[in-house]
Chain A
């Protein structure tokens, strides 16, 4: 079992990518994610208008040639705000997930490689964090420290870290008894070296899948908090803020809520499918079946 895992993750990387892109879901999901990433990076170049430029005369206009997705309650171009909102969403998703990964991975490694007591204590801590009701925890934190991007990232890091902790810890516990790890240890490799050189490469696969699956959840958290007015603060564009504002005017100008909801739905689907396809592509058993 441990040997097979080791062999599989050492397979050529391009083979995994080929497998990912060859499946229709994986290909489409990769394309959609790439589109979101390009939109985020090139936002100032691709957005047709300044996302914060208000024009009360044009408020709540429906889609037109000038404004493809229409305008919001302040006459701002919705498409431009969505494009810049992509930047906000992905920034928070990537930084938040990276922070969660860093914390979760470090704790998972320590738990897996440490003694029984250390493991038990860390499992208890993580289970306690996981049992916190996320929305209430987030609202409490934002109330104390104020709504900001930094606060959002802290919330995401704390709430997501237990997921990475669990995966890393379990993998380390399995790999600990793998032949190549025992061989390395018998040759005098330190714990740190074993962890960094022999175990980490074998964790990349499952972690990549988890990251892809977590990004939509993080986008959901950011959008949800922004919807409640506790996330991204104006004038920065945020899908959640736009959805919240759209909800206020849903009877008069439903296009605002629809336009704001679309990227949330699409990004969630794209990242979820990407994660699933990545899991399939990285799983040697599924690859053999295919």
Chain B
């Protein structure tokens, strides 16, 4: 048996050694902490599809902009401008033939090699592949082909000049570049959340559905290094819960409810409020018997006091809309054609021979919409229309609105949309071929569709803006639309976090976040 003995000298030596070890470990701990800078941010939904051709929405795009790069990208700030990303240069002097040159040395994650012009060609041309079934095929509707002229160089050939190319295609998620090698190796034409290879500053490290998405640095990224080593994205649907989590210090940054803006003003948190690129409107299903008469629809247009609705819902933080296209974009309207006039509404209802009209208003589980609906209920009651409120899960509502038979259950509907910084993104949902998809009003005019398509190629910005104003005028003339609001996006972040957002603050641009 070995006896354990310790002399005073040994004790001092060991104590000294221990202190040194502790000091070193604390130093290395500090270094470790510095190397593992983590941002914890809320996403209002979990990721669904990260494929640029068939992505879900902004909740996917927020992640996609961090893990993929495009030729160009939206610059953070208050203006809708773009900056070079994977491209070293891009030449847009010829609107039908866009020449580009990639920065050498951008490596895809997972040993899938260097990004080349072949990857650009593959990424953009796949939008036309029927097997890809691209939801966003219209973004590349005018693409003829991408010509590869060298390892890093190529030319994007368009069939016609395409006005949205530099506003809502190349800098947006449809312009992100995938690895051709990785996609071919996967054997699939598209993907959901199993990303074959990342081309951005970050890569997907772990996804715990409904719990957390963790991004870590992409070692192959050779562009400007992002500040944070790790980003933990927490899908928190309920905005009140998100605000509580922020107040408790559990997250560094979150979007907040518009009604919460006053409570953060002058506080410790950094508050950012920007006009949203969104649009909410009251739609009327013209295929239902009660709303087939334009006189009735016109009466409803006159019965709704949009200003009162917006004031009641957002307490003055949001302006009423005059159309679908939000104000920063060309084509935003200054006034509506058929505004609030309850007397006229009553006259029109009498003219239509309608008495005791009873309608239902369907919308998703958004608390703001419940307020909109309740105010509208009072306003329509003032002209003799009884409004029943049908609030339901958004997915169920959309499925009902798209169903060939069940769409008859939808009479009035509100479903706010977000959009990209180009008016074509706003109007494309109201065409005849969108009936059964996103045209819940089921209004259809082939002439309108043709003009809407032609507007994509109008080069003169003034003329293009006028055309989009006219297109919205025509939609309002159908009587099936009452334009409500565009909204604002509000975010709060901890004071030490330097947050970065797109011009409308719809997206947190994660790769641009830093800290003091």
Contact = CB atoms under 8 A, between A and B. Distances in A.
Contact of B371 (A52, A73, A250, A251): A73
Nearest to B365: A229
Contacts of B391: 229, 233
Determine the interface band of chain A, counting residues with CB < 8 A from chain B. Answer: 20 to 34
A250 B260 CA distance: 10
Interface stretch (A84-92, A116-124, A241-249): A241-249
A59 interface: yes
Interface string A215-249: 00000000000000100011100000000010111
Nearest to B261: A252
A48 interface: no
Given A59-B312, A74-B374, A75-B312, A252 B260 contact: yes
A251 B240 CA distance: 8
Nearest to A228: B365
A143 B374 CA distance: 21
Given A56-B311, A56-B312, A245-B367, A252 B374 contact: no
Contacts of A252: 259-260, 262-263
Contacts of B260: 251-252
A247 B312 contact: no
B374 A59 contact: no
Contact of A251 (B263, B315, B374, B375): B263
Determine the interface band of chain B, counting residues with CB < 8 A from chain A. Answer: 20 to 34
Interface string A35-71: 0000000000000000010101001100000000000
Output the residue of B262, B391, B396 with the most chain A CB within 10 A: B391
Contacts of B367: 245, 248
Contacts of A59: 312, 315
Contact of A74 (B257, B262, B312, B389): B312
A234 B389 contact: yes
Nearest to B309: A56
A54 B312 contact: yes
A52 B312 CA distance: 14
Contacts of B311: 56
Contacts of A73: 259, 312, 371
Nearest to B311: A56
Nearest to A249: B259
A86 B377 CA distance: 22
Given A75-B312, A229-B391, A251-B243, A234 B370 contact: yes
B370 A245 contact: yes
Contacts of A234: 370, 373-374, 377, 389
Contacts of A235: 374, 377-378
B388 interface: yes
Contacts of A249: 259
Contacts of A52: 378
A118 to B, nearest CB: 41
B308 interface: yes
Contact of B240 (A54, A74, A229, A247): A247
Nearest to A142: B392
A229 B389 CA distance: 11
B308 A56 contact: yes
A150 to B, nearest CB: 14
Output the residue of B311, B371, B391 with the most chain A CB within 10 A: B371
A260 to B, nearest CB: 14
B370 to A, nearest CB: 7
A252 B375 CA distance: 20
A248 B260 CA distance: 10
A248 B240 contact: yes
Contacts of A248: 240, 257, 259, 367
A60 B396 CA distance: 32
Contacts of A74: 312, 371, 374-375
Interface of B: 240, 243-244, 257, 259-260, 262-263, 308, 311-312, 315, 365, 367, 370-371, 373-375, 377-378, 388-391, 396
23 contacts: A52-B378, A54-B375, A54-B378, A56-B308, A56-B311, A60-B315, A73-B259, A74-B312, A74-B371, A74-B374, A75-B312, A234-B370, A234-B374, A234-B377, A235-B374, A245-B367, A245-B370, A248-B259, A251-B240, A251-B244, A251-B260, A252-B259, A252-B263
Given A54-B312, A56-B308, 19 more contacts: A56-B312, A59-B315, A73-B259, A74-B312, A143-B396, A229-B365, A229-B391, A233-B391, A234-B370, A234-B377, A235-B378, A248-B240, A251-B243, A251-B244, A251-B260, A252-B259, A252-B260, A252-B262, A252-B263
A-B pairs with lowest CB-CB distance, top 7 = A56-B312, A248-B367, A56-B311, A234-B374, A229-B391, A234-B389, A233-B389
